Amino acid sequence: MKKDRFLTGILIFIAVLVIAAVALFFLRDRDRAYGPEDTPGGVLHNYALALQKMDYQHAYSYLADKNDKPTYATFRQAFLTRQLDPGNTALQIGKVLSEDNGEAIVEASILYAGSGLFDTGWSSNDRAILVRQGGAWKITYLPNPYWGWDWYTPTPMPIPAPGKP
């Protein structure tokens, strides 16, 4: 009889833990909110959050209006077809390295999820570049998988003919 009570107590305790874990899982999604957009780091945070929420129109609004800007359809398609897939990554925004002449360079690390119990994952350090347009910060470069390699490609300089300056 005592063994039955002990086993019942353990099962109830496990059930309470499972219910608490499920409740925390669903409640944590509510905490994700867009932040202020008056800093380069805030814009990067909001861009990554919009992609996570699959709010592609909102994410697209953070792209700078420059030559070779992808169309909204191309932008959205890159994420829907998983050409760009930030699903198993996280964007860690570091400090602003420089902010002058309407351009900001920000430390940005991509954290990749591990593939197993003992694999903690890895990270890739890079930078994000933003410009001021119309009083707002807009993104011109982020590392993959948050950014397409062919977005905002620089215009190649013509190679002068030999003997001509």
CB atoms within 10 A of CB 110: 19
- Give the pLDDT mean for 129-136: 94
pTM of the model: 0.74
Are 50 and 59 in contact by the 8 Å Cβ rule? The answer is yes
Tokens of 152: 């905002």
Tokens of 119: 């694999």
Tokens of 126: 């890079």
1: pLDDT strictly greater than 60: no
> Over the stretch 68-116, which tens digit does the pLDDT of each residue have?
899 999 999 999 999 999 988 999 999 999 898 899 999 999 999 888 7
Rounded distance, CA 90 to CA 71, Å? 25
Farthest CA pair distance, the chain:
100
> Over the stretch 24-63, which tens digit does the pLDDT of each residue have?
777 765 557 888 889 999 999 999 999 999 999 999 999 9
CB atoms within 10 A of CB 43: 23
Q: How confident is the model at residue 153 (pLDDT cuts 50, 70, 90)?
A: low
| C-alpha of 140 from chain center | 14
